[in-house]
Structure 1
Amino acid sequence: MAGKTTTACTHEQYETIIKTLYEGIGDCIQPNPRIATILVIEANVGLRIGDTLSLRRSSFIKTPSGHAFNIVEHKTGKIRRFKVQEQVYNFLLEYADSEGIEGDDLIFPIGVRAVQKHLKKVCDWLGPEYEDISTHSFRKYFGTEIYYKNGKDIELVRRLYQHSSAAVTARYLGVTDEKIEQALDSHVDIIYRPK
């Protein structure tokens, strides 16, 4: 997957990959609920894979309105504290409890390469429409979904990702400059030569 342009998962691809990881496919793909859970978290909170894998039970803090993550991003070194939806918090807590993960233990004691390798095997099995999918596709899925579900608010997504500019976020998501295109489309004013 290295050297390729990673695309955001579509909703259908996201569902298919996660279902395949949970259930497996005969002898070809063994079920792997841990990797499924990792990718579900990445798709729901927008963390990079390395940051997702560094989550610990102690990464959660109680706030007046629920729970939040309190992490330092590996890539940027930025402190990031943000709300975790209760469904996501409960999902992770249920997973941690089922795996006997306590206190300061890593929730996902696995390496990035192992996750990438298993995901590639699943994507290869699913076919060519999955060839540009990587672990980063789930972070991009998160941003793309937030973008479209919130009136194409690129500034909102920029702040969630902590990017330096909206232009960086637009490139990251592969969003064309829709406002320019719409402005051009709405300003056609041709006067034809009389016959």
Structure 2
Amino acid sequence: MDEQDDDEVRRFNTLRQTGFSENDIQLIKIAQNTAPMDFLQAIKNEKHNYVTDQETWTMKTLVERSPLPNSVINVLVHYVLVIKKNSFLQANFINQIATNWSELEIISPEQAIKHVRSLVKEAKNKPNKKTNSTSKKSQPVRKETLPDWVDNPTEEVEDPEVQEEINQKLQDYLKRKEGEN
């Protein structure tokens, strides 16, 4: 074992002691050792999906222009496709996250995973907008009265001869259609 391997072992042991799971450590190892396009392709394969042209351009731009290391980009892709369960990478969404992570100076996959955990925790604790009752109270409720015919419909008596004629025309039409096939 060389010195670099010793450093890796120490690093991963420290991560285990600070609350990182074996799955987290596996993600870190894969994120560090895989190119972003290969990482994206692997996730897409797992989801029985494919990499779109837009995603290819988004990844190419992200790798070329973003100050984020490839390992952090891979964690970002994992977050969007696996944790948030999106089907594909939307350029605006990816760039928004990438610029935010750049400003937060997230430079390692460990930092990215910690940040993702805090985002997930925050999302769980945030009250859902749909269930927020205060917004419903502020909107006036409009009441309408229904017309009488809703409660007391008048029945129209159909002429049996007219109904028979309609049925006959329908049968003739269906027979003509069968003959065309």
TM-score bin (small chain): under 0.3
Structure with more of its chain in strand, by fraction: 1
Bigger relative contact order, structure 1 or 2 (CA pairs below 8 A, ≥6 apart): 1
Structure with more of its chain in helix, by fraction: 2
